[in-house]
Amino acid sequence: MHFTQTEHEILRIVQDTLPDSATPYADIARQAGSTEAEVLELLKKLKKGGQIRRFGATLRHQQAGYGFNAMVAWYIEEGFDPDEVGRIMARRPEISHCYLRPNCMDWPYDMYTMIHGKSRDDCMQVVRELVEQTGVTQYEMLFSIKELKKTSMEYF
């Protein structure tokens, strides 16, 4: 794709941390020498065209007071609808990621969720509730020890 100089500047700005304000798109427009409408139109066009899959805020969970994280690997047994299970899990506000992946060899798990909580027990409580809500009972919880990287892709 070819971008104008202004579009290039907008994209350079939006791939970094977005302004923490009530009007982030207007702030981006001011920085790029554009209008808020142009910023929004460019992002919508790229999303609709498939050049970007999603555009949204990233929760810095530790800064927000959520110091405990658990990746939960779930085994979705035959007879369960993985899409429905995924919808139920993804609705939880404590879950930031929910993926369906192929299982392999001795690792039968095929759905993965990232749960954030203020304590280890908070994360475990979410898992207990998801077991009740979905009927999925086979899982492994992997608690985070240390965050090594959390950045967005940079293209410009």
pLDDT, tens digit, for every residue of 81-128? 999 999 999 999 999 899 999 998 889 999 999 999 999 999 999 999
Q: Six-digit token pair at 18?
A: 């977005």
Question: Could you tell me which residues come within 8 angstroms of residue 140 by beta carbon, excluding any fewer than 6 positions away?
Answer: 72, 73, 109
Phi/psi class of residue 89: alpha, beta or left (left: φ > 0; alpha: ψ in -120 to 50)?
alpha
Question: Could you tell me which residues come within 8 angstroms of residue 61 by beta carbon, excluding any fewer than 6 positions away?
Answer: 67, 69, 96, 116
Q: Six-digit token pair at 26?
A: 């207007």
Residue that is written with structure tokens 């909580």 in the block: 117
pLDDT tens-digit readout, 54-66: 776 666 666 666 6
Residue among 4, 72, 80, 97 nearest 42 (CA) = 4
pTM over 0.85: no
**pLDDT reported for residue 29:** 95
